[in-house]
Amino acid sequence: MIKPHGSDELNPLFVYDSAENEALQKEADNLASIMVSSATAANAVMLGAGYFNPLTGYMNKADALSVATDMKTTSGLFWPTPVLNLVEDAGNIKVGDRIALKDPNVDGNPVLAVMDVEAIEEFSDADMALMSEKVYAPSADEDGHPGVEAFNTQGKVCLSGPIKVLNFSYFQTEFPDTFRTAVEIRNEIAERGWKKVVAFQTRNPMHLAHEELCHMAMDRLDCDGLVIHMLLGKLKPGDIPAPVRDSAIRKMVELYFPANSAMVTGYGFDMLYAGPREGVLHAVFRQNMGATHFIIGRDHAGVGDHYGAFDAQTIFKEEVPAGALEIEIFNADHTAYSKKLDKVVMMCEAPDHSKEDFVLLSGTKVREMLGNGIAPPKEFSRPEVAKILMDYYESIK
């Protein structure tokens, strides 16, 4: 199986030993505590689950600036985005303290992790601007970039040091059938006997074009298996809830993929909307969970028109050093049903087509149809998938 990023073995930071976990939970009751941001909480979940291997905790100022500028830590580890615990004020916390990190996303704010504070440093306004520019470029200076806004509203005080993760926030309880750690996915890939595995990320139900893109990737790469990996982080207004997405995707896999060829899973993280840099981060996740290949299509991890359509593909060719990652990228164009060829194709592979030769529907149009109990055309969505989505929209009227 493919090695994790940066180490021979996966080193998740979740405390699996029940006695140690319980002892740390009790110890946390008497520790100084801070309420972390949603982004910091998501980082803890990803560290605990092994997706951020080989990191051992939150980055210090020097590492964060080095990663933002050069995509490597001060020790030379390739890494695409800073992984930080930012706060407005460290209060009475001192270097050398062990502190409890409280979860902002769960009622009662339970302790998510304990942290040994190795440094307390403050970023200047220029530091924050530099990281925003480098990570969210090329249009981070424009108004309304949600990733930049979220990054710059957490605070400028950086608490760094190793952590031990005690739970997986709301992801394991709210999505028990879908949330999986990198450890669990690696184990299942091994159990299934897969050697060559392609991963597909989604935060939406999969329509026919997505399904066929996965088939294309599997066929062209001669893969044993596909891991459909759903982002389970916070939803935007209008997003379809994860359980509904899960049902729709599982129905598609059940009916249209051979047995033992596809896994439906999810992971707990908030979108950064960092375009190319986030595309690289997503590749790190998938290598750590055991995938050998990762599909990146148009506008991957983008928002609005802040990035070029293929920037998240170009960065692997132009900025990721050779050998930095073992996982390989499957570059995909927009896929759509061709009326001429009577099948789904990548639009770049049909140069004799005009826009009118494809079945193209906007997300707004599809939601409108589903909300009115109208199934999208079979060239766009499998009828069994459309029914699940129509039933959901009917339930919220």
Whether the bond into 205 is cis, omega within 30 of 0: no
* Residue for token pair 């040994």: 116
User: What distance lies between CA 284 and its chain's CA centroid?
Assistant: 10
* Tokens (6 digits) for 93: 């916390």
**Cα 277 from Cα 294, distance rounded (Å):** 15
For the purposes of burial, counting CB atoms within 10 Å of the CB of 191, is it exposed (0-12), middle (13-18) or buried (19 or more)?
exposed
> 371 and 396 in contact (C-beta within 8 Å)?
no
Could you confirm whether 331 is annotated as catalytic?
A: no
Q: For residues 311-345, b (16+ Cβ closer than 10 Å) or e, as one string?
A: bbbebbeeebeeebbebbbbbbbebbbbeeeeebb
Q: Which candidate in 11, 21, 152, 204 is catalytic?
A: 204
**Cα(242)–Cα(250) distance, rounded to whole angstroms?**
12
Kind of pairing between the strands at 157-165 and 86-87: antiparallel
Number of C-beta neighbours around residue 360 at 10 A: 14
The residue written with tokens 């193209």 in the block is: 360
Task: Give the Cβ contact number of residue 295 at 10 Å.
Answer: 24
User: Beta-carbon neighbour count of residue 364 at 10 Å?
Assistant: 9
Q: What's at 239, amino acid-wise?
A: D
Can you say how many angstroms the Cα of residue 124 is from the centroid of all Cα atoms in its chain? 28
- Rounded distance between C-alpha atoms, residue 209 and residue 196, angstroms: 22
Could you give the strand order of the β-sheet that contains 197-202, starting from the edge strand earlier in sequence?
Answer: 262-267, 225-231, 197-202, 293-296, 328-331
**Of 203, 260, 288, 331, catalytic:** 203
Given the structure tokens 């061709």, which residue do they identify? 338
Token pair belonging to 123: 């970023």
Q: How many CB atoms lie within 10 A of CB 173?
A: 11
Q: How far apart are the first and last CA of the chain?
A: 47
- Examine the residue annotation and report whether 21 is marked as an active-site residue of this protein: no
Q: What does the alpha-carbon distance between residue 278 and residue 103 come to, in Å, rounded to a whole number?
A: 24
Active site residues: 203-204
